Amino acid sequence: EAGVVQSPRYKIIEKKQPVAFWCNPISGHNTLYWYRQNLGQGPELLIRYENEEAVDDSQLPKDRFSAERLKGVDSTLKIQPAELGDSAVYLCASSLGGTSVYNEQFFGPGTRLTVL
């Protein structure tokens, strides 16, 4: 079974440019997460989707970040415009979903963003 797929794996852009990351979760997983991971730190949740609905986006900087999961399957995270401080690894994860808090989250390999 394929894991969580993310692309691109690496992205280098200049500040003020836009950037987008794509994630395809494990088939059948209704819950999708986007995390940001700074160097040496643990991942921090940006947004969580249950199917196509964003149910937790309280930590998403909405002035420059946006996300969508239109058909409840794959998802795109966008930053516009990017700032130097956005350099990080952006991780996508998925889980079966539902109300159980014990559903394991499976992480993708991440996209390493460098903003120059």
Residue 57: how many other CB atoms lie within 10 Å: 16
Closest separation between CB of residue 5 and another protein, Å? Answer: 11
Separation between Cα atoms, residue 11 and residue 111, nearest integer Å: 7
Q: Rank residues 32 and 82 by Cβ distance to another protein and give the closer one.
A: 32
Separation between Cα atoms, residue 11 and residue 53, nearest integer Å: 27
Name residue, tokens 């994630």: 23
Residue 45: how many other CB atoms lie within 10 Å: 16
Element (H, E) at 35: strand 31-37
Tokens of 37: 């991971």
Closest separation between CB of residue 27 and another protein, Å? Answer: 17
Residues that bind another protein (CB under 8 A): 4, 31, 40-45, 48, 56, 91, 93, 95, 101-110
